[in-house]
Structure 1
């Protein structure tokens, strides 16, 4: 009898274990979504697309003030319509305005949303390639980067208002006009605002594989200028001092300063020297794109650029090293990893798998992370083709991404 009971027990255990393993293999969702929020997210898609079309059909390339102003005015009206307190802050030296919208609640969590009104496209692009929907995708200049992010943030805040969910101390939506060119008129505002919040959620686009971004490299603007001496290239070249040759020599030796083990890259991208075929060039300027994942690498590169540049090919030249720091690195960290897991759990409740990746490209999330605010990036619409004529967002991921952001705001609002 005991053997029979033992056999039944073992068999039952094996059956339960098999079911658990099968559910894990099939990625079956156990937790239930917030039905009211998900229903609102699905219904919000048509409004999302309508508002997005309006913004996409306005040119707002970085520095194009007339278009930026039009987009900003529309966005300000949207935010005021859901009860946000909107503050306009100058973005000098950049064109356009910083929008700082605040919604106050009754809870403890302080959450910052980041997005931007500017795109990389020149004036006239919207007329040539207006918003369109084709084959389950929405296309247009800035549809994904970052006008889709702006509207997605608005829709999430609208759902909170409609459902009277106020379990947060405050949610601040900071929208700047110069992200595509380094945020020089907004980065100090981003850093100061981020310090006052527990979490920063960056509404840049999610990759085509539906991923968020948990780390990003910092960006440096490095290079050098060479001063030489001009002379006739045919009659008396020996009287010249060829800045082009020295620049080529420096480019070759300085390009070796990257460090793959630390994910530091140095890529020379712009070379300017000479303007006449028959003249020895007396000046040259070379620019490099530098990416670092560790902040101390900026210091090391500055030292090594200066040290190596003294190793000249032509002693008659003078060299001036350029080393300007752009966005700081947003390195991998445990707090962001925990936020990724929270987002993945939310997404799984509606039957979707959220991936995670790092990126060599920087965003305003780098500034938020640099001041110690827990940051998660790429929470905007899912799509591809950024900065190209094929830029798009996936229609079937709009509602899931609205739900994800809204539910994150709810859950993070409950946290102190």
Structure 2
């Protein structure tokens, strides 16, 4: 057990720095960081680096050509091994959103684009880790903090970085928002993004319709058959997202495209779905059309296992020490936690402050959970470190 004196110092540090942490949260919420806006994401990264510098936490920067940079910060402990904390700096909100609806406080609710998904989580892990560095380093294994730039679009470049940084970790905490009921997440769906492209043949749709080959018609037939592949018993979902086709109203469509999103609990379930979609795409229901299928799995599912169960028990016990009632849940939304758990590393997601309505104009974070979730992460990291032989 941690001495009462040390725990008092840890909690006092968080309490004394709560307003500073809230001010920093306001600063990064009011900084646009759309996934495709490299400059915006790097502006958030710059603010984070400034905070890390002020806390004496060393870090490395990995620059990326298309997206924002990765930041990898490290706190050295006295015990073998490391714990990885991670979170994403990007949001789904385009440049200019923060001017339309900046950070605000409405009673117990904090508002603003990305306030709980997941900029509050970024602040939480920095301050929790800093407290541990200052007052409990001798009881810690190393803590590594990974900040990623493009989770909201499926982490196309971060998957490799997450797997690299997680492969030698003893545990991973992902700081996505705590669920609206306060629970943490011990299982998540994976997600896949696919695209169908169809070529037909243009012709005048009045005088020479018989000479045309409609890509739009072919796409419509394929869409109906693809939707029939949904597996309700396994909760494998299929959503047709963006549909484009044709040139003008009096021309038989020479080309058409559609995007597909799928959510799934197990990778093998998606593999089965993909084979079915592939067969439909490779079949020409209208002779003369040609179709191609691209894309695949973006984020792997976070599948529940014994390692996750053990880590959750540590989180739950830490919560009980604070007189918090923490529960666990499965959630359908995909997140980077799936990459870490899929390589066998015990992972808990949604350790950040409680929030909801993510990606919407009324997204919120519950202010009265800010400090408790910071303390919960701090206690959980410390308790896990102390459990290591």
**Residue 47 of structure 2 corresponds to which residue in structure 1?**
74
Q: 1:174 aligned to 2:146?
A: yes
Considering only aligned residues, what root-mean-square deviation do their CA atoms show, in Å? 1.8
Q: Distance in 2 between matches of 1:65 and 1:253?
A: 39
Q: Is the 8 A contact 1:218 1:362 kept in 2?
A: yes
Q: Distance in 1 between matches of 2:50 and 2:282?
A: 57
**Cα offset, 1:116, TM superposition:** 1.4
Q: Pick from 184, 198, 221: which aligns with 2:193? A: 221
Give unpaired runs (5+ residues) of structure 2. none
**Residue 311 of structure 2 corresponds to which residue in structure 1?**
339
Q: Distance in 2 between matches of 1:147 and 1:371?
A: 26
Q: 1:374 aligned to 2:332?
A: no
Deviations 1:254-284 (A, max 9, x none): 1122223322212212211113111110111
What is the TM-score with the length of structure 1 in the denominator? Answer: 0.88
**Residue 122 of structure 2 corresponds to which residue in structure 1?**
150
**Cα offset, 1:34, TM superposition:** 4.3
Deviations 1:199-233 (A, max 9, x none): 11000111111111111111111242221111111
**Residue 322 of structure 1 corresponds to which residue in structure 2?**
294
Q: 1:51 aligned to 2:24?
A: yes
**Computing the radius of gyration over CA atoms, which structure comes out larger, 1 or 2?**
1
Q: Distance in 1 between matches of 2:74 and 2:96?
A: 33
Q: Pick from 13, 34, 50: which aligns with 1:61? A: 34
Q: Is the 8 A contact 2:284 2:290 kept in 1?
A: no
**Cα offset, 1:129, TM superposition:** 1.4
Give unpaired runs (5+ residues) of structure 1. 1-31
Q: Distance in 2 between matches of 1:43 and 1:394?
A: 19
With over 3 angstroms needed to count, the CA separation of the structure-2 counterparts of 1:112 and 1:136, relative to structure 1, is same
Q: Is the 8 A contact 1:108 1:167 kept in 2?
A: no
With over 3 angstroms needed to count, the CA separation of the structure-2 counterparts of 1:253 and 1:371, relative to structure 1, is same
**Cα offset, 1:161, TM superposition:** 2.6
Q: Distance in 1 between matches of 2:138 and 2:203?
A: 73
How many pairs does the alignment contain? 384
Q: Distance in 2 between matches of 1:147 and 1:279?
A: 48
Q: Is the 8 A contact 1:327 1:366 kept in 2?
A: yes
**Residue 266 of structure 2 corresponds to which residue in structure 1?**
294
Q: Pick from 5, 8, 15: which aligns with 1:42? A: 15
| 1:57-206 to 2 correspondences below 5 Å | 57-94=30-67, 96-206=68-178
What is the TM-score with the length of structure 2 in the denominator? Answer: 0.94
**Residue 212 of structure 2 corresponds to which residue in structure 1?**
240
With over 3 angstroms needed to count, the CA separation of the structure-2 counterparts of 1:273 and 1:72, relative to structure 1, is same
Q: Distance in 2 between matches of 1:269 and 1:66?
A: 28
**Cα offset, 1:329, TM superposition:** 1.4
